Chains A and B, each alone.
Chain A
Amino acid sequence: MIAELSHFALFVALIASCCQAILPLYGSLAKREPRAAWLMASADMFTIIAGFTVLFAFSGLVWSFISSDFSVALVTNHSHSAKPLIYKISGTWGNHEGSLLLWIVILVLFSMGLSLSKQQMHSVLKARVLAVQGIVTTAFLAFSLFTSNPFTRLDPAPLDGRGLNPILQDIGLAMHPPMLYLGYVGLSMAFAFAVAGLIDGRVDKDWARVMRPWVSAAWCALTLGIALGSWWAYYELGWGGWWFWDPVENASLMPWLAATALLHSSLVVEKTGQLKSWTILLAIIAFSLSLVGTFIVRSGLLTSVHSFASDPARGVFILGILLVAIGIPLALFAWRGPQLVSLKQTQLISREAGLIANNFLLTAATLIVLIGTFYPLALEVATGARITVGPPYFDATFTPVMSVLVVCMAIGPLLVWRSGITPSARTTLAAACIGASLASLAGLSLVNGLSAAAIAGLGLAGWLGISVISDLLFRIKPFRPGARLQRLKLISGPVWGMWVAHFGMVIFLIGALGEGLFQTEVITRAKPGDTIMLAGQEAKFTGVEARRGPNYQTETAVIDLFENGRQMTTLYPEKRFYPAARQTTTEAAIRTRLSGDHYIVLGDGDAEKGYTLRLYHKPLVSFIWLGTIFMALGGGIAILRRRPALKKTVEPA
């Protein structure tokens, strides 16, 4: 019953979002329509109706999973009654149909957010943005209902489900897709603003002011979503790495790079009214890359652990949505774009120029990832040759571009809008140079035979870190007496956000460099009783015992970790066998400290011949994810502590 009601609710949502797409847009375009104002205002009503019906349908699906209703095909295929509650819930989106519905849920949440927000904006703009959101919602609801219905029934209902892939039964992975989707779908708002702006060509500072918080929100979620995915891959796959340049990872990195560029270019629009056409193009590109990220990957075109299904009808539908979502806005852009080009001169030494450099580098980085990800696909289609593009390509291309970007990240904030530099810029840059040299020297003295790239990397972390701190100190002047609090208050939220986010990049660099340059790896065959040396510590392998989990059986190795004869901890890496799915997984055991992780993986073997063990010491690896949390925090501060817009009438004249 619940499944049928939910299915019906999705149809109601389809009709509502159709109305949300058409009526307000018609109202905003029809000049002689007497009910134009009413039509535009109706966008709110339809947004709310579509929103609540989609939420109802999604709750219905979640309920089917929680109550293990195996008469619903999706539940049978992806759940099992013996699964812990949290993974029954996360099983809802651990499959194609459910993840698509989650995608739509987040889409309507963003629409409702805009509809209910107290942001001051032009009513015509609001109506059009909601209409574009309505178009996107309609397309995806149709996709869900006509090709990927999550509520298909099974008759007779089986006694139990086929379980969820055990490596997907994990807290990191339960949170990763919703967070990532929040980012992907959040970029639909930027897209909607871009298309709305293209319809009448009214793109101005106010347009950017209203759009920016939505881009920031999407960017924060995307940052955290990617970080969660990387963290999951780190501890769950047992390969010891945190980024593999896998097509699926690349697919999430591309929209992030584009969104980062968008975040910075829309700042230029908001402050000076320049870069309008570029910002619009970037918004369209960012959302297109999100669509590619979600759907090309999930359609199974790119080989990966993440691909769910390869049904040709779905592939065609996805391709259709992609072509329309990219094609029509680009056509609009070709028509309107030239009118938006501002002819103001930009000074070479100005904040605008710095942000243009930022956009140039981020666009180049996006292009590099795009080519590296899709070249194998294109080559296979063209010649039939099957290739992979691995980390060496990205090391040779992506890393240098990002390094230049980090150099610029220290300089950009020292530039002033229109022309010139801040009074403290020279001192700050000198301090940054010293910071860079000290970091490089420290690395050289700690480790023998560092590569030039490693030394440069350390230098970059020192350079950016010192410049952010110095810039902050010069603006706050904590050592000058009097009115300290006043000075703190003078600094706006977005500036704080920038500092925190940029400093997050420094923390991230420290983690990536620590893990990359100083890690120790030992692969060995050990018998119970053996002791293995790992980066100055001793790992004593006691043996392997059989254990039982809620829905699996294990082989668990017991390994005591000693430092200078003192026991630090006992680690239990294990292999799990899930009878329901008839699968084995490997669970790494990790001792996490801020100073570094000890990471042990149990391989195959037996007590006679010994077990294969992989042991790692990864200094500072947690800083990688800590850095991304800082970045997201910076984005959050920038949204929440924005100064309200100057009071003025925003209704049309």
Chain B
Amino acid sequence: MTGKSKRLAVFAVIAAMLSGGVFLIMSALQDNIVLFFTPSELTPEKMTARQLRIGGLVEEGSVQIDGLQARFSITDSAAVVSVLYTGALPDLFREGQGIIAQGKFENNIFRAENVLAKHDETYMPREVAESLKEQGVWKGDSSK
């Protein structure tokens, strides 16, 4: 092999490895992304996902706690999702608070594996704040 064709071969091998690697990374990514929706964005098709995140406000008067089990509803004022969660709720979980729940749907009830409410009283998860603004429900300052 001459120097030039050798360099070409090396370049081809590197390019093949790089594109193969990026392909593997992207396919791993496609399998593991978790989509975020507000209750009104949900469709029956979207509810079949293995994992998703639902964000909104905890509906007033919806929280029932029984031992470790909590039932409550997430609302964006246009639609409501019933949530069932077993485990410890975050400090700032309360009615009217903006939260994000991660989990999956079973029989139209959202079984949350994780409930996030950030540590700041005035804090609103960014996704929740944006979608609530779109709905015109909430006009606070998301940077706080």
Q: Is A427 an interface residue (CB 8 A)?
A: no
B136 contacts the other chain (Cβ, under 8 Å)?
no
Among the listed A305, A376, A393, which residue makes an inter-chain contact with B118, where contact means beta carbons less than 8 Å apart?
A: A305
Cα of A583 to Cα of B87 in the assembled complex, Å: 22
Complex partner residue of A367 from B21, B65, B92, CB under 8 angstroms: B21
Contacts of B24 in A (CB 8 A): 397
Cα A107 to Cα B125 in complex, Å, equals 34
Q: Is the CB of A584 within 8 A of B91?
A: yes
Smallest Cβ distance from A424 to chain B, in angstroms? 32
Q: Does B45 contact A (CB under 8 A)?
A: no
**Bound Cα distance A389, B67 (Å):** 32
> Does B26 make an interface contact (CB < 8 A)?
yes
Q: B121 contacts A582, CB within 8 Å?
A: yes
Contacts A371-B25, A386-B127, A389-B29 given; does A585 touch B35 at CB 8 Å: no
The answer to whether A300 touches B36, judged by C-beta atoms less than 8 angstroms apart, is no
A396 touching B119, Cβ below 8 Å: no
The answer to whether residues A603 and B25 also contact, given A305-B119, A388-B36 and a CB cut-off of 8 A, is no
* A612→B93 CA distance, assembly (Å): 14
Confirm or deny: A392 has a beta carbon within 8 angstroms of a beta carbon on chain B: yes
Contact A583 B31 (CB under 8 A): no
Q: Does B133 contact A (CB under 8 A)?
A: no
Beyond A386-B35, A524-B68, list 20 extra A-B contacts (CB 8 Å).
Answer: A167-B119, A303-B126, A305-B118, A309-B143, A371-B26, A375-B29, A389-B33, A390-B34, A392-B31, A523-B68, A523-B86, A575-B91, A582-B121, A583-B120, A583-B121, A585-B119, A601-B88, A603-B88, A604-B93, A612-B87
Task: Find chain A residues with CB under 8 A from B118 CB.
Answer: 305
Please determine whether B25 and A367 come into contact, CB atoms closer than 8 angstroms. yes
**Smallest CB-CB A-B distances: 9 pairs:** A393-B32, A603-B88, A386-B36, A392-B32, A396-B28, A303-B126, A525-B67, A387-B33, A310-B143
Question: Which partner residue on chain A sits nearest B90 by CB separation?
Answer: A586
Judged by a CB distance under 8 angstroms, whether A614 is at the interface is: yes
On whether the beta carbons of B68 and A396 are closer than 8 Å, the reply is no
Residue B80 at the chain A interface, CB threshold 8 Å: no
Point out the residues of chain A lying under 8 angstroms from B34, CB to CB: 387-390
Check A175 for interface membership: any CB of B closer than 8 A.
no
Q: Is the CB–CB distance between B31 and A612 below 8 Å? A: no
Q: What CA separation (Å) do A387 and B32 show in the bound complex?
A: 10
CB-CB under 8 A from B88, the residues of chain A are 523, 601, 603-604, 612, 614
Q: Which of B26-50 contact A (CB under 8 A)?
A: 26, 28-29, 31-37
Interface string of A603-621 (1 = CB under 8 A from B): 1100001101010000000
The answer to whether A303 touches B125, judged by C-beta atoms less than 8 angstroms apart, is: yes
Q: Does any Cβ of A come within 8 Å of B53's Cβ?
A: yes
Which chain A positions have C-beta within 8 A of B127? 303, 386
In chain B, positions 56-90 with a C-beta closer than 8 Å to chain A are 65, 67-68, 86-89
Please report which residues of chain A, range 333-376, place their CB below 8 angstroms from some CB of chain B when the two chains form the complex: 364, 367-368, 371-372, 375-376
A537 part of interface (Cβ distance < 8 Å): no
Which residues between 577 and 605 of chain A lie within 8 Å of chain B, taking CB atoms? 582-586, 601, 603-604
CA distance A335 to B125 in the complex (A): 45
Q: Are B28 and A393 in contact, with the CB atoms below 8 A?
A: yes
Pick 15 A–B contacts, CB within 8 A, sort by A.
Answer: A300-B143, A303-B126, A310-B143, A386-B35, A392-B32, A393-B29, A393-B31, A397-B25, A397-B28, A524-B68, A583-B119, A584-B92, A586-B91, A604-B93, A609-B67
Contacts of B28 in A (CB 8 A): 393, 396-397
Contacts of B143 in A (CB 8 A): 300, 309-311
**Distance between B41 CB and nearest chain A CB, rounded to angstroms:** 10
Docked CA distance A310–B36 (Å): 22
A389 close to B32 (CB less than 8 A):
yes
Give the one of A385, A387, A575, A582 with max B CB within 10 A: A387
A377 nearest CB across to chain B (Å): 11
A610 near B121: Cβ-Cβ < 8 Å: no
Contact B67 A372 (CB under 8 A): no
Residues on A with beta carbons closer than 8 Å to the beta carbon of B93: 604
Residues of chain A within 8 A (CB-CB) of B25 are 367-368, 371, 397
Complex CA distance for A371 and B26, rounded to whole angstroms: 8
Q: What is the CA–CA distance of A401 and B37 in the complex, to the nearest angstrom?
A: 33
- Chain A residues with Cβ under 8 A from B142's Cβ? 310
Q: Does any Cβ of B come within 8 Å of A519's Cβ?
A: no
Q: Which residue of A lies closest to B67 (CB)?
A: A525
Residues of chain B within 8 A of A167, CB atoms compared: 119
A375 to B24, CA, bound (A): 15
The residue that B32 contacts in the complex, of A396, A603, A614, with Cβ under 8 A, is A396
Bound complex: CA of A371 vs CA of B120, how far in Å? 29
State A586–B91 Cα separation when bound (angstroms): 7
A254 CB, min distance to chain B CBs, angstroms? 14
CB distance from B10 to the nearest CB of A (A): 11
Chain A residues with CB under 8 Å of B119's CB are: 165, 167, 305, 583, 585
Residues in B with CB closer than 8 Å to A375 are 29, 33
CB nearest to A385 among chain B residues = B35
Contacts of A603 in B (CB 8 A): 88-89
Residue in contact with A525 in the complex, picked from B22, B32, B68, B120, CB distance below 8 Å: B68
User: Which residues of B lie under 8 Å from residue A389 when comparing CB positions?
Assistant: 29, 32-34
Cβ of B35: which chain A residues have Cβ within 8 Å of it? 385-387
Q: How far, in Å, is A269 (CB) from chain B's closest CB?
A: 20
Q: Are B120 and A387 within 8 A (Cβ)? A: no
Name the A residues within 8 Å of B51 (CB-CB). Answer: 390
Pick from B29, B36, B37, B89: contact of A372, CB below 8 A: B29
In the bound assembly, the distance between CA atoms of A601 and B53 in angstroms comes to: 25
Closest-CB distance, A401 to chain B (whole angstroms): 9
List of B residues within 8 angstroms of A585 by Cβ = 91, 119
Digit string of A484-514 for contact with B (CB within 8 Å is 1, else 0)?
Answer: 0000000000000000000000000000000
CA A396 to CA B33, docked complex, whole Å? 12
- What is the CA–CA distance of A614 and B87 in the complex, to the nearest angstrom? 9
CB within 8 Å for A388 and B29 given contacts A397-B24, A523-B88, A525-B68: no
Closest B residue to A575 by beta carbon equals: B91
In the complex, chain B residues whose CB is within 8 Å of the CB of A614: 88
Nearest-CB distance from B68 to chain A (Å)? 5
Contact of B36 among A305, A387, A584, A604 (CB under 8 A): A387
Q: Which residue of the partner chain, among A367, A582, A612, contacts B68 with CB atoms under 8 Å?
A: A612
